[in-house]
Chains A and B, each alone.
Chain A
Amino acid sequence: METKTRESKGLFSKLSNMTDSNLLLTITIVVFVLMYIGAMVFLGKGFLKPQAFFNILNENAALIILSCGLSLVMITGGIDISVGGVTALVTMSCAVYLDHKNGTVGGAMLLALGIGLAFGLVQGYLVAYLDIQPFIVTLAGMFFAKGMTTIINADPFNVANEQFVALKNTRVNVPGMGSYNKKGVYINAYVEIGVIIAILIVILMFMMLRWTKLGRSFYAVGGNRQSALMLGINVKRTRFLSQLLCGVLAGIGGFVYFLHVGSGAATNGAGAEMNAIASSIIGGTMLTGGVGNIIGTLFGVLSLSTIKNIVASAGLDQAWWTGITVAAMLCIFLVVQSIVVARKK
């Protein structure tokens, strides 16, 4: 009995001694694991197959990339809500380029990168060098991107380009994972190309934030701009680079989204900015800047999509439940963050 209380006391003091970043990351991972186990126990079959997990990855590869970009700007103390609009613009531009202009897949990739780069450059310049509120700049960016999408082509359509369809349908088997279907045939679990790109980006971003000078200066600028300036960090350039990188990641994310759905439509990526911000916040990135972790963001996306799947398979499949659950989750985590900050004072 005695040992137990000491242990729990030790755990509590450990928790309260944690840095904000680690505490929030721990909360996120615990929430995700509990939620997934809960889903496996109570909702059964669908969640027990490994493919169920990989399907979450397949569906959310683009969201993972977009969320990485958002975590980056949020760590630096900014925000970017144009990512959903950029996604729609990228899908539509690539679709038109591939089908109406007989383009190649490589060209489409470059086009996606170029659009992301252009948005990143302009928004970054306005935010960092002209010192305009990032929310206003990227709100305008979002509306511009959405409007441009319908100017390019108003009607949604599926891409028929063979080269592209082949790439879209490429499946990469995950070794050692799989399940037997009803007939008893073993089916290997698979992921799409987008997931591999997303995982690569997560790893790259994680390494960049943890071990490079640029990565550390993102945290420094987000934590306290004044002291970052005094440390000799080029604050303007750092903010510029964070918005630029987010724009580029939005371009890549847009292409991955395109690769998943295979169509160009103005409604593509609708609400992606909200999901990406929500994922970053759930993953422990602080809105006030200076705190955040890409691994947390990955778990944020997974938690968000798991809860969506739970809502869907619990029979609450009316469209409105998704919006309400996402918002409720965002709300809870925002309040938790606010309490974590208040804890210190």
Chain B
Amino acid sequence: MSTAKQKESFFRRLVSNQMFIPLIELLLLAVINLINDPSFFKITLGTNTAGFPVLSGYLITILDYGSELAILAIGMTLVTAASGGQDISVGAGIAITGSVILRMLCGRNSRPDELQMPIICAFLIAVLAGMIAGAFNGLLVSWFKIQPMVATLILFTAGRSIAAWINNNELPIVSEPSFGYFGNFIPGIPVPTPFFIALAVMIVTALLLKFTNLGLYVQAVGINAQSSRLNGLNPTLIKFMTFVLLGICVAVAGLIKVSRLSTINYSVVAKDIEMDAILAVALGGNSLSGGKFNMTASIIGAYVIQFLTTTLYKFNVKSTALPAYKAVVVILLVVFSAPVVREFMSAKWKQLISNKAKKEVA
């Protein structure tokens, strides 16, 4: 009897754990791929055109391209938790920061023979640009009290235009090979660099959450801004700060994106990534209306999205048709996590159990 109860409570704890949902999704996708084509999981060690060893395979692709998404998901989780809304300007933000990096590296000449400044300086200036963009959004949200999604609509509309304007609508190309290291491979290391960058951002975030009160404050503001104010917090400042932090994440993602191609296409770079970033937060089981959050779940959510995208590509879905499938996933997800539906289902579940118990008694 007691073991049965223990078992039940273990099961319940497992199901109620926030990590449960993204992990199950990951497992589900893995199983689908395993049934469809086991070679999906094959990883081969080959050499690239420069003759250095590189790992390749679908799983490596997921780790590689999931990096930007994971980095964005970290910032997006904080913004979502604090403000109860999402930033839809991250794609445009990547265009802006990427454009800034290229402008700094190339100067006025779009095909420079040598870089105008060290890459790290260009990156730091891009971080500044990302922070300014974030601060603009944050100001509108926290100070002027405009809904986050509508406030960020401004940069969503203007961002790519601003990015084009920064480089005078030219497409600078960086020929310096070391610039490509951030988005591809460092010679001699077979694992793609974006993965390490994402790992570094994750570690910094983990330390930040562990050793500062950031996480607590953000959740307090998200759950009830009014009562957090009465407890001595400054909700305006904290909301503002989350947007600035997201701005930094956007700049890091921007560096990876432009480094991949050593150039930029203003209207295409990081297209629809805002949808994926929001989806990562939702898939991680975080409430989109703010409050409590689980950072690890969001990061796993980001890789789930990339897994889904890669799987869809494997099934020969065109890149332009991808959003339709993802939209269906989002709708299913939000429907099943809607409080109304949950209550309805748990009521049904209880009814089912009580019926069973009645039968056993009879």
* Residues B100-114 near A (CB distance < 8 A): none
Report how far A135 CA is from B335 CA in the complex, Å.
14
Q: Does A148 contact B (CB under 8 A)?
A: yes
A-B contact pairs, 22 of them (CB 8 A): A135-B149, A139-B278, A139-B330, A142-B327, A144-B327, A146-B324, A148-B324, A150-B321, A151-B321, A151-B324, A274-B156, A277-B153, A287-B150, A318-B165, A319-B164, A319-B169, A323-B157, A324-B165, A326-B157, A327-B157, A327-B158, A334-B144
**A143 lies within 8 A of chain B by Cβ:** yes
List B140-173 residues whose CB lies under 8 Å from chain A: 140, 144-147, 149-151, 153-158, 160-162, 164-165, 169
Does A330 lie at the interface of the complex (its beta carbon under 8 Å from any beta carbon of B)? yes
Chain A residues close to B by CB (< 8 Å)? 79, 126, 129-133, 135-137, 139-144, 146-148, 150-151, 154, 266, 271, 274, 277-278, 281, 287, 318-324, 326-328, 330-331, 334-335, 338
Q: Say whether chain A's binding surface is mostly helix, strand, loop, or mixed.
A: helix
| Cβ-based interface call for B6 (8 A) | no
Distance between Cα atoms of A294 and B153 in the complex (Å): 22
What total of A-B pairs shows CB separation below 8 Å? 129
In residues 279-334 of chain B, which contact A (Cβ within 8 Å)? 282, 288-289, 318, 320-328, 330-331, 334
Given pairs A144-B327, A323-B161, 9 additional interface contacts (CB within 8 A): A126-B334, A144-B331, A147-B323, A150-B318, A151-B321, A266-B320, A281-B150, A323-B157, A324-B165
Q: How far is the CA of A141 from the CA of B323 in the complex (A)?
A: 10
Q: Which B residues between 14 and 54 are near A, CB-CB below 8 angstroms?
A: none
Q: Does B268 contact A (CB under 8 A)?
A: no
**Is B188 positioned at the interface, with any CB of A under 8 Å from its CB?**
no
- Contact between A334 and B327, CB atoms less than 8 A apart: no
Contacts of B160 in A (CB 8 A): 320, 323
Contact call A147/B158, Cβ cutoff below 8 A: no
Complex interface: stretch among B235-243, B257-265, B338-346:
B338-346
Chain B residues proximal to chain A, CB less than 8 Å: 85-86, 88, 140, 144-147, 149-151, 153-158, 160-162, 164-165, 169, 272, 275, 278, 282, 288-289, 318, 320-328, 330-331, 334-335, 338-341
Who on chain A is nearest to B158 by CB?
A: A327
Q: Which residues of A contact B146 (CB under 8 A)?
A: 287, 334, 338
| Minimum distance in angstroms from B74 CB to a CB of chain A | 20
Which of B149, B323, B341 touches A144 (beta carbons < 8 Å)?
B323
For B153, list chain A residues within 8 Å (CB): 274, 277, 330
Minimum CB distance partner of A318 in chain B = B169
Q: Are A147 and B288 in contact (CB under 8 A)?
A: no
Q: Could you tell me if A126 and B144 are in contact, using CB atoms closer than 8 angstroms?
A: no
A277 to B330: give the CA distance in the assembly, Å.
23
CA distance A281 to B147 in the complex (A): 13
Partner of B151, one of A137, A141, A143, A334: A334
Residue on A nearest B163 in the bound complex, by CB: A320
A328 contacts across to B, CB distance below 8 A? 158
Q: How far is the CA of A151 from the CA of B160 in the complex (A)?
A: 26
Instruction: Report chain B residues within 8 Å CB of A146.
Output: 320, 323-324
What residues of A have a CB within 8 angstroms of the CB of B162 in the complex?
320, 323-324
- A282 CB to closest chain B CB, in angstroms? 13
Given known contacts A143-B272, A147-B322, is B154 in contact with A133 (CB within 8 Å)? no
How far apart are the CA atoms of A323 and B161 in the complex, in Å? 6
Give the Cβ gap from A151 to chain B, nearest Cβ, in Å: 5
